[in-house]
Chain A
């Protein structure tokens, strides 16, 4: 093997050239209807259902190639868009200055497609034992570990199984902003964590004494039940459409599609579709408020 080092050197150089050329190749290409590259969308599991269905329709009708993914929730959507891995992000919360600071090269644009609320959901046994509403201070008590049994909240003697939505999820941030004013001020806690909406609903419905945060449209009041929020004026507000529109329910939030700069190509097709009549019907169909509902 006399020329072993030389051949290794050659191979390394070749690899480096191959890698660098393939990288620079991709950066300038933007997917459009004709580019042959699939439109990639990633983010919030809350925004996902109407977008995924819209993608299905555009696939069959316009022949567009669209991949919709829900890696990492809203923060996942923001960071994959920021890194240029996808052309559209989905987020169930507003973009913050710190998101922009993390990805200075990305010109984030928010396109609001609907409105939703975060519900505090409980399992059937909790609901049927008489706990149907909760106040902010009681919820903070659970979050901070000072309330650990449902009998402290008027329910039966059962330990509270709190599944915390994982930090980084839009749902969690809306919840923590409500409870603590600013989610950065919420205490650091260690609870079992849940991610996507399906997982949250499944785990809460199959665990006795369970409570978690979930997108209100996923709270079907059959397997999991949305608690009313007791306000400071002793009213109980449930996350109904009317209460979300009137802002009486405190944990409402916008649903966003995110782009880097002005949308082009198939990304623009998708946005136009979801903002159009048909797309807004999909938003309603999945239990969210469409934009027109908010103006009334």
Chain B
């Protein structure tokens, strides 16, 4: 430490540059190695099931049936519920903050909401078990639901968890709309509300979509909180995507499957282990795709607002 500080300025810069190169490469190597490991170790299941692994509706590991579709459905369904609940609230809060609050109050609001992001997810899971699942159970009783562990419960819980992600990113997107445009709109006689809708929201739109996509990536990857309230029931693929009933039944997501004890059984059996890692690849692809789409849109929005 002390040695580095005494180096001449130029050398210090070089040292910092080398260090950042080193750590960046380390991250790159780690991710690549992880991906290669997942791919290589999951080869048995692709050989065994082929595309059936993605489209198959049944997961019975002792019968050597590995179909991930119900879990893909569960993951997407839970994430979509979370987005539907969280996005309006978070974007609304961001609009309120940027358009109607003074600078200091806006920061205050932002800090409070970002505090939500600092709570460990297992705490959310426990709150989910203690409060949310009982609430869902009691309030949905007329639908003849079996327990409080449902896709809906997991979705609501995730909504709270991704609220800060959407809020912060939406706030950034709205902030990046140039002040001059708002001033021009106001001086043309538009009200604050009209300005917010016609100028800020329109300008920030790609950025807002990006916020939602990035939050969805986060929702897909969340494990422990979902694990505790989703019910972890395999092979729950509904006949219709548009009925409400499946949402108040137990389900399984990619992450809740991977978080369970089945990985211990799978270890040491190449096919079963490959199937578990195959789920990991599916999850990685879904999250990566959403993240890239989100980042792409963010860049697009930034460039649009700069010109």
A interface residue numbers (CB < 8 A to B): 7-8, 11-12, 14-15, 72-73, 75-76, 78-79, 101-103, 159, 161, 163, 166-169, 184, 188, 190-195, 199, 202-203, 206-207, 209-210
- Pick the contact of B129: A78, A190, A199 (CB < 8 A): A199
A42 to B79 Cα, complex, angstroms: 32
Interface residues on B, range: 20 to 34
Contact B147 A161 (CB under 8 A): yes
Closest B residue by C-beta to A103: B268
Does B62 touch A at the CB level, under 8 Å? yes
For A168, the chain B residues whose CB sits under 8 A away are 260-262, 264-265
Contact A161 B22 (CB under 8 A): no
A72 to B232 Cα, complex, angstroms: 15
Q: What number of A-B contacts does a CB cutoff of 8 Å give?
A: 88
Does B183 touch A at the CB level, under 8 Å? no
Stretch of B170-178, B212-220, B233-241 lying at the A interface: B233-241
Closest B residue by C-beta to A163: B147
For A12, the chain B residues whose CB sits under 8 A away are 25, 29
A-B contact pairs, 9 of them (CB 8 A): A7-B21, A15-B26, A166-B262, A190-B234, A191-B233, A192-B232, A192-B250, A199-B129, A203-B129
For A161, the chain B residues whose CB sits under 8 A away are 146-147
Contact B264 A76 (CB under 8 A): yes
Contact B264 A79 (CB under 8 A): yes
Contact B233 A72 (CB under 8 A): no
Chain A nearest CB from B121 CB (Å) reads 16
Contact A203 B147 (CB under 8 A): yes
Contacts A8-B25, A11-B22; A192 near B147 (Cβ below 8 A): yes
For B61, the chain A residues whose CB sits under 8 A away are 188
A67 to B147 Cα, complex, angstroms: 34
A79 to B264 Cα, complex, angstroms: 6
Contact A15 B29 (CB under 8 A): yes
Contact B233 A192 (CB under 8 A): yes
Does B306 touch A at the CB level, under 8 Å? no
Contact B261 A73 (CB under 8 A): yes
A236 to B296 Cα, complex, angstroms: 66
Contact A15 B137 (CB under 8 A): no
A207 to B134 Cα, complex, angstroms: 8
Contact B231 A192 (CB under 8 A): yes
Closest B residue by C-beta to A8: B25
